[in-house]
Amino acid sequence: MAQDFRKPDDCGSRSTIHKSQVLDYVPWQRSKQKLKQSTVLPVLHTSGHKKSKTESRNSNQPGYSKPTMSTSWLRNPRELHKGNLDSGKTKFRLMRTIINILGYSNKKKLQKMTCELQDWKEKEESKMSYLKQQVEQLNAKIKKIQGEVNFLSTYMDHEYPVKSVQIASLERQLQQVKNNRQDELDDFNEMRKMVLESLSNQIRMKRAKLLSSLVAKTQQPRQEVLLQKSWENQIMAKCTDKFREFVDQYEEEIPTLRAEVEQLQVQIQEPREVVFADVLLQRPKCTPDMDVTLNIPVEELLPF
């Protein structure tokens, strides 16, 4: 936040300084003034003391003769009074100048301190204004939140139970409506299926009727030819049935015929073997795993 620190004007004019030279002091400044006056006054006394010392020295010097009592009594009292007045005036002037100097310096210090105090006050006032604005904003927020909290508390205390009961009853009603709606939808789907099936059957029947009528119309001029063709087709069907019976019968005889052929193939011999059977002694072949029986004739002993 930008703070507007205005530079103070010249803190007091010379007229105000002249008017409050001696008496316009803070208590601690007055104490300082007293201390300074007390420190200055002995200096004056010491100066008079020095004069007395110089007079005593001069009196001790040779050729210096003290004035006699007759000369001192012969002095004019006016001159003495005048000298006293002059010394008092000089002291007063000196004191006044010292007081003026001290007052001026103290006044300058006071002006400086008042300016600093004014600046500090302005800064603090700006800070306080900024803090007040923040406090007001926070108070507004707190009031708003407090209102919402009060509303929610009243709602939770009074309206919420009623609303919760209403919501529960509405949920039950909604669930019941959904169930009823589902039952209605199921019934409607069944009705739709039945209507579609009946419509599809009607369409199918109408289509069949139309096709039969179209076929009758198209076949009417060629009916004789179609009857001839149908009769021929019937004859062909009967012939095919007979041929199928023959084929089945032959297929049943095929295995027996194959067995006979195989048997005949086994019995077939080469002509050479048949012709020269006594020469070509056909004997079974001897395999390694066959048992061999040796039929060796035994020598018979002759009787003589």
Give the tens place of pLDDT for each residue, 27-42.
Answer: 444 444 444 444 434 3
**C-beta of residue 91 within 8 angstroms of C-beta of residue 40:** no
- Exposure string of 288-304, with b = 16+ CB inside 10 Å and e = fewer, is eeeeeeeeeeeeeeeee
Higher confidence at residue 265 or residue 142?
142
Q: What are the tens digits of pLDDT across the range 117-140?
A: 999 999 999 999 999 999 999 999
For the four alpha carbons of 233, 238, 239 and 243, in that order, the dihedral sign comes to positive
In this predicted structure, what is the pLDDT of residue 69?
Answer: 43
The residues spanned by each domain of the chain are 224-269
103-117, 142-156, 271-285: segment of lowest average pLDDT:
271-285
In this predicted structure, what is the pLDDT of residue 83?
Answer: 67
CA distances from 69 to 55, 66, 72, 73, 75 (A): 17, 9, 5, 6, 10
pLDDT confidence bin for 111, thresholds 50/70/90: very high
52-66, 110-124, 197-211: segment of lowest average pLDDT:
52-66
pLDDT confidence bin for 159, thresholds 50/70/90: confident
pLDDT confidence bin for 89, thresholds 50/70/90: confident
**C-beta of residue 22 within 8 angstroms of C-beta of residue 104:** no
pLDDT confidence bin for 81, thresholds 50/70/90: low
**C-beta of residue 33 within 8 angstroms of C-beta of residue 102:** yes
In this predicted structure, what is the pLDDT of residue 27?
Answer: 43
Higher confidence at residue 257 or residue 47?
257
3-state secondary structure of 270: coil
In this predicted structure, what is the pLDDT of residue 14?
Answer: 41
